Structure 1
Amino acid sequence: MKTISSVVEEYIKAKPFLQSALAQGIINLTSLSRIIKEEIQDDLGKDVRNGAIVMALKRLSSDMEFRATHRILKVLKNIGEITVRSSLTDYTFLVSETILTKQATLLKEINNNKDVFYTSSRGVNETNIVVSSSMTKTVEEIFKEEKLLQKLTDLSSITVKLPEENVSVPGIYYFIFQRLAWEGVTMNEVISTSNEFTIIVPEDQIDKAFRVIKDLKNL
């Protein structure tokens, strides 16, 4: 049987940004109840008082604040090394039968220069390569016969070392990326391993992105 509380909770869960704002207590519950009242009534099939919706939101916000942040904040307080690199270029190539051979050739070149940044990921149809801009001529020469879908320049990266328990705590990446989104940070790429992740952002946003991630340790 549907209740006001269950219907309100399902409504909020379907809207991640609203869910986060509610958990942080930055929304006027009375105003929100007026906005969502019609949808709640339609779902329940009966009239509902604003006060009943407000009460459901209050209970939900208290519960969500604990559930959504308690374990996540415990992990984020133990964030390890944060590494920033600048002057990067991002290439996206169409997957082909020869793309892996070209990547192997590029890796041989990069191995001769330990200061070069390199990361790569492959999807079903695209292969992405992010390298130090000093390697652009090398990349473009090696991949000249491949189909280039996109090239982005003037990028920077932030690599974050996470504690091992991050893999068992749901919501870690959402929590981090939500705060970056709230600050208007554009992420061109996200690359992750088990215990670290790297974001690629425009160089003019690197200071803002670094501040957001650094401040996570003090939440």
Structure 2
Amino acid sequence: MITITEALGQILRGNAFLEFGFRHDLFNLTKLARFLRPQVEARTAKETQETALTMALSRLRRAAPAAPSSAEGHDLTLESVTVHSGLALRTFSRSPALQARLAKIYGEVHEKNGFCDLSLGMREVTIILDARLRDWLDEAVPQRPVYRNDEVAAVTARFPERHINAPGILYALMQRVTLQNINLIEISSTYTEISFFVAQADARLLFDTFFESFSLQSDPASTRRPLARGRK
């Protein structure tokens, strides 16, 4: 278990945005402590008092010109956060024949109630599916992938329709990902869902960060109420 100071150091280290504000003394440390509290609690796995965070930030500011920002929490309500672990990813150079083959595979996986996500770019196509099906996929698509990863998990945030026209929804979620220094492998979205594909080892941290950061739809007045934990 890490300390509050260690958790803050991990969050701040290498984050140019936070370092700039800290170095130029732009932030209110009390508000900054409130903003960073969910990220710190996710890393330390325990509840943290804002006063303790404020004191730790003050010590960091006196010790060196590198630390956090004063942005306040976003008024974003989520319906659920779910994790689907044990996924494999393949990215191929795009061609009409390959696209048709992957579309068929996509349908076959969903007929079996499996997980499958297909993303088409201008030059590449990425398919993500249950890792137990990776050998079947590799046999079905003999083309050599340009990238492969067998340790992937999806963290999916679902939000109410009323947020559709509100600006900054993706930014609010991405900000939490960035503050935890989590690398995003892929992103996929629909009308009211955004899925973040990350390394299996980062899935729990990202889930806990979303869980602690945003309010539940049934209680929008409470920004500290945890989300219903869902796992697929």
Superposed pair shares fold, TM > 0.5 = yes
1:154-195 C-alpha deviation (Å, 9 max, x unpaired)? 111111111113221211211211221111111111101121
Give me the whole-angstrom Cα distance separating, in 1, the residues matched to 2:138 and 2:106. Answer: 14
Which amino acid letter does the alignment assign opposite residue 130 of structure 1? I
Instruction: Report 1:47-58 matches (<5 A).
Output: none
Match of 2:62 in 1: none
1:104-144 C-alpha deviation (Å, 9 max, x unpaired)? 32134313421x21101111000011100011112112211
Q: Secondary structure at the match of 1:184?
A: coil
Match of 2:228 in 1: none
Match of 1:150 in 2: 147
Q: Secondary structure at the match of 2:162?
A: helix
- How far off is 1:20 after superposition? 11
Instruction: Report 1:15-94 matches (<5 A).
Output: 18=17, 28-29=25-26, 73-74=74-75, 76=76, 78-94=77-93
Q: Secondary structure at the match of 1:148?
A: coil
Give me the whole-angstrom Cα distance separating, in 1, the residues matched to 2:23 and 2:71. Answer: 12
Instruction: Report 1:2-13 matches (<5 A).
Output: none
Which amino acid letter does the alignment assign opposite residue 85 of structure 1? H
**2:95 equivalent to 1:96:** yes
In the alignment, is the contact (CA less than 8 A) between 1:162 and 1:196 conserved in 2? yes
Identify the match of residue 204 of structure 2 among 194, 204, 207.
207
- How far off is 1:18 after superposition? 3.3
Give me the whole-angstrom Cα distance separating, in 2, the residues matched to 1:216 and 1:21. Answer: 23
**2:137 equivalent to 1:139:** yes
In the alignment, is the contact (CA less than 8 A) between 1:105 and 1:142 conserved in 2? no
Identify the match of residue 216 of structure 1 among 213, 228, 232.
213
How many corresponding residue pairs?
A: 160
Q: TM-score, normalised by structure 2?
A: 0.61
Match of 2:31 in 1: none
Gapped regions of structure 1 (runs ≥ 5): 1-15, 31-63
Q: Which moved more, 1:195-204 or 1:97-106?
A: 97-106
Give me the whole-angstrom Cα distance separating, in 2, the residues matched to 1:26 and 1:176. Answer: 25
Match of 1:187 in 2: 184
1:17-52 C-alpha deviation (Å, 9 max, x unpaired)? 638985xx996139xxxxxxxxxxxxxxxxxxxxxx
Match of 1:162 in 2: 159
- How far off is 1:86 after superposition? 0.7
Q: Secondary structure at the match of 1:98?
A: helix
CA RMSD of aligned residues (A): 2.7
Identify the match of residue 120 of structure 2 among 119, 122, 139.
122
Greater Cα radius of gyration, structure 1 or 2: 1
Q: TM-score, normalised by structure 1?
A: 0.65
Match of 2:50 in 1: none
Give me the whole-angstrom Cα distance separating, in 2, the residues matched to 1:17 and 1:179. Answer: 15
Give me the whole-angstrom Cα distance separating, in 2, the residues matched to 1:27 and 1:163. Answer: 38
Higher normalized helix content (fraction of residues): 1
In the alignment, is the contact (CA less than 8 A) between 2:88 and 2:151 conserved in 1? yes
Give me the whole-angstrom Cα distance separating, in 1, the residues matched to 2:26 and 2:106. Answer: 55
Give me the whole-angstrom Cα distance separating, in 2, the residues matched to 1:86 and 1:136. Answer: 14
